[in-house]
Structure 1
Amino acid sequence: MKEQLLDLAKNRRSIYALGRNLTQTPDELADLITKTIKWVPTSFNNQTTRAVILFGENHEQLWDIVAKRLKSEVPSEEAYQKTLQKINAFKAAFGTVLYYTDMSVVHQFENDFALYADNFYDWSEQGQGNAQFAVWTALAENGIGANLQHYNPLIDDEVKAAFNIPDDWKLRAQMDFGSIEAPAGDKEFMADSDRFKILK
């Protein structure tokens, strides 16, 4: 059996020690990310996933927004300082992909295909998973580390205002990426017998 895809998947890990020591340009990275998202499957080929790719000051501004917004959420200054260390690690990366779902398309398909209306949002989430995994793996294939964060919906309004995001776009995740400054640890797996059922 060919296992090239499996090998690529094994190479995709959550990397938290990220830097800016990349040889690729922002244009090259944006091209890779956009092409990858274009080729992932979505239900009814409705292409509900949107992405905003941030570099430079825009990337830093995002994580400043996160840091400022979380200050009111943590219980103490000590806890906030720990949170701030984590946010600053994301800010130290080269860039960030903001993943969105275009809810206007979801609603359009709910109306156009009423029999399946209850499923289209769930299916858009599957499209998100496809896009995020594919981009993450494509970055890893090029020696670029990444991790996936979910500060939505706390940051939604501030991010929308900062980056002129359309009203119908719903923020689903934030993926910061950059040079790998320290590798991921060992990955642990639950028992296959608890996870898979194979019937012959």
Structure 2
Amino acid sequence: MVLLQEKVSDFYNAVKERRTYYSINNEIILTNEELEELINLSVLHAPSAFNSQGDRVVLLVGEQHTKLWDITIETLSERLPADRFATTEAKLNGFKNGYGTVLFFEDLDVSNELQEKFPTYKDNIPSWFQQNSGILQYIVWTGLEQAGYGASVQHYNPLIDEKVRKEWNIPTSWNLLAQMPFGKPIAPPKEKQYQSLDHRVKVFK
């Protein structure tokens, strides 16, 4: 570990420090222009299968961020019984209290084009696009945390998809994959339990 720390300490410190934060507020840490730069750098340099660059991102801040979680609260209130909704509403309001949300999409036009171009890999390409997005989400998440924000990844799609598409005029080919609310942490993350690496990693020498 000493050799590793000497070579890539900053990177792996960022990896270790990234956590899931649910208790956040809307205090400004980065300007909107700086947030846009963080998103742009992440999208530009995230790897993708065949360099397809099919990831799409929407950054919502201020009233637009609030509107997303109002939409989510309204949508789930229509689907959940009242006795179950109170806990969910409290959780959603926690996300709403944050500063912004990053929406992650995949462009199905790009995916479909690749499937036609590479029929041998047709069945694999959709899962590769999911992996592409996962990498991008991790880059953005870690970048936000390094800037001082706390974030989490949520999946209220496909329940909110149509309302999101209508509200922000999202192209029909953009398929919503995840939502990342973020804000300044106001409480530490939950303690994380680690499983033994003995049955998670195999090394052959």
TM-score normalised by L of structure 2:
0.94
What's the CA shift string for 1:114-154, capped at 9, x where partnerless?
11111111110110010000000011111111011000001
Question: Structure 2: any 5+ residue segments left out of the alignment?
Answer: none
Aligned with 2:184: secondary structure? strand
* Alpha-carbon separation, structure 1, partners of 2:79 and 2:11: 41
Q: Does 1:171 align with 2:137?
A: no
Q: Which residue of 2 aligns with 1:93?
A: 98
Shift of 1:4: 2.2
1:76-129: per-residue Cα shift (whole Å, max 9, x none)? x23212111111100000000000000000000000111111111111011001
Counterpart in the other structure of 1:128: 133
Q: 1:136 aligns to what SS in structure 2?
A: helix
Q: Give matches, 1:42-57, under 5 Å.
A: 42-57=48-63
In structure 2, distance between residues paired with 1:36 and 1:194: 32
Aligned to 2:153, the other structure's residue is in SS state: strand
Which sits farther off after the overlay, 30-39 or 155-164? 30-39
Q: For structure 1, which runs of at least 5 residues remain unmatched after alignment?
A: none
Moved more, 172-181 or 19-28: 19-28
Q: What is residue 35 of structure 1 aligned with on the other side? A: 41
Partner of 1:187: 192
Report percent identity of matched pairs. 39
1:25 and 2:31 correspond? yes
> Which ranges of 4 or more aligned residues in structure 1 deviate by more than 2 Å?
none
Q: Secondary structure at the match of 2:122?
A: helix
In structure 1, give the amino acid aligned to 2:21. Answer: I
Count residues with an aligned counterpart.
199
3-state secondary structure, aligned to 1:22: coil
Q: What whole-Å deviation, never above 9, does each CA across 1:46-85 have from its counterpart, x for those lacking one? A: 011100000111111100110011012212x232121111
Q: What is the Cα deviation at residue 6 of structure 1?
A: 1.3
**Is the contact made by 2:29 and 2:184 (CA closer than 8 Å) also made in structure 1?**
no
What's 1:161 paired with?
Answer: 166
> Secondary structure of 2:191's partner?
coil
Range 177-186 or range 158-167, more displaced: 177-186
- Look up the match of 2:155: 150
**In structure 2, what is the equivalent of residue 106 of structure 1?**
111
Over the residues paired in the alignment, what is the CA RMSD in angstroms?
A: 1.0
Q: What secondary structure does 1:118 align onto?
A: coil
